[in-house]
Chain A
Amino acid sequence: MKRRILGGTGISVSEYAFGAMMLGKWGNPDHESGIAMVRTALDAGINFVDTADMYSDGENEEIIGKALKGRRDDVVLATKGHFPMGPDENDRGNSRRRLTRALENSLRPLDSDYIDLYQIHRPDHTTDIEETLSALSDFVRSGKVRVVGSSMFPAEQIVEAQWVSERRGLVRFRTEQPPYSIFNRSVEGVVLPTAQRYGMGVLTWSPLASGWLSGRYDKASDVDLSKGRKSVQRHKFDRISRICWQGSIWC
């Protein structure tokens, strides 16, 4: 497995990460099966695991915690905070109050005393980015987090965050996590060049377009294209399908 350095942090990660989102009630509810998948990935040379507090309402982090038992220090573990985890208005977003609780609530199920990469899952228009970066800086200084990143930040907010970090002497986002696949290329416009400009590593979510590019489907008629994430135009799916097979992308 090839390795890369994560966004200038000096942390070596495998080219492929284990994206854990579908472990737990959102996808595969069988914990033992999920644990086996993670360990198979680690055995194959993957050392990078990405989860989030909100995946399967927290169940996901429990599965990852169990799967990494005895192997935690061999893995670069990433998680995220931002989305609501309860009915309280203060139990969501990127405030210091929220993120401090979110971090503790991630460390517990993950059965770890540190997170390698803590990501802000989405921007929060109600919280000054300086508040967020200030809290993240304290996480790093406390030793509970190694490096920090963003997810789904538009280019202008990436730039703002970098400038605030520089002005205030705060930790800066070292990574950005946007969706990216043949079906989702919008980040090529400004997000990827901006991330590159600031030396940020890019983790892509949904690189197989929610399974569309996994090889499970080989023609548009196999799937229901009418709703949700299956909204890709049928005729384009057919053409992409042919080209991708010929190009051996899905082997």
Chain B
Amino acid sequence: MLSDDVLDRIDEIVPPGTDLNKFDADHAPRAPLDKTLRRR
């Protein structure tokens, strides 16, 4: 378990709930990325 101090410093750099590495984060809604989902 990391200390609160370390976790706070990580939060400063990478805010909670955000992604730095977009490639691994495909939770984004699909429709904006796939036009067939918008034009049915």
Q: Given A125-B37, A154-B27, A233-B20, are A183 and B2 also a contact pair (CB < 8 Å)?
A: no
List the A residue with the shortest CB-CB distance to B15: A185
A134 touches B (CB below 8 Å): no
Asked, given contacts A125-B37, A243-B6, A246-B6, whether A184 binds B13 with beta carbons under 8 Å apart, the answer is: no
Q: Kindly identify which residue among B2, B6, B18, B23 contacts A185, using a CB–CB cutoff of 8 Å.
A: B18
Nearest CB on B from A212, distance (A): 8
Contact of A231 among B6, B9, B13, B21 (CB under 8 A): B21
User: Shortest distance in angstroms between A29's beta carbon and chain B's nearest beta carbon?
Assistant: 24
Q: How many A-B residue pairs have CB under 8 A?
A: 72
Residue of chain B at shortest CB distance from A179: B24
Cβ contacts under 8 Å, A212 to chain B:
21
User: Which residues of A are found within 8 Å of B2, using beta-carbon distances?
Assistant: 247, 249
* B1-40 CB contacts (< 8 Å) to partner A: 2-3, 6, 9-10, 13-27, 29-30, 37
Residue in B17, B25, B37 whose Cβ sees the most chain A Cβ within 10 Å: B25
Q: How far is the CA of A159 from the CA of B26 in the complex (A)?
A: 18
Which residues on the A side are within 8 Å of B22 (C-beta)? 231
16 CB < 8 A contacts A-B: A125-B30, A182-B10, A183-B21, A184-B21, A184-B24, A184-B25, A186-B18, A186-B25, A188-B17, A189-B17, A209-B24, A229-B23, A233-B20, A236-B14, A239-B13, A243-B13
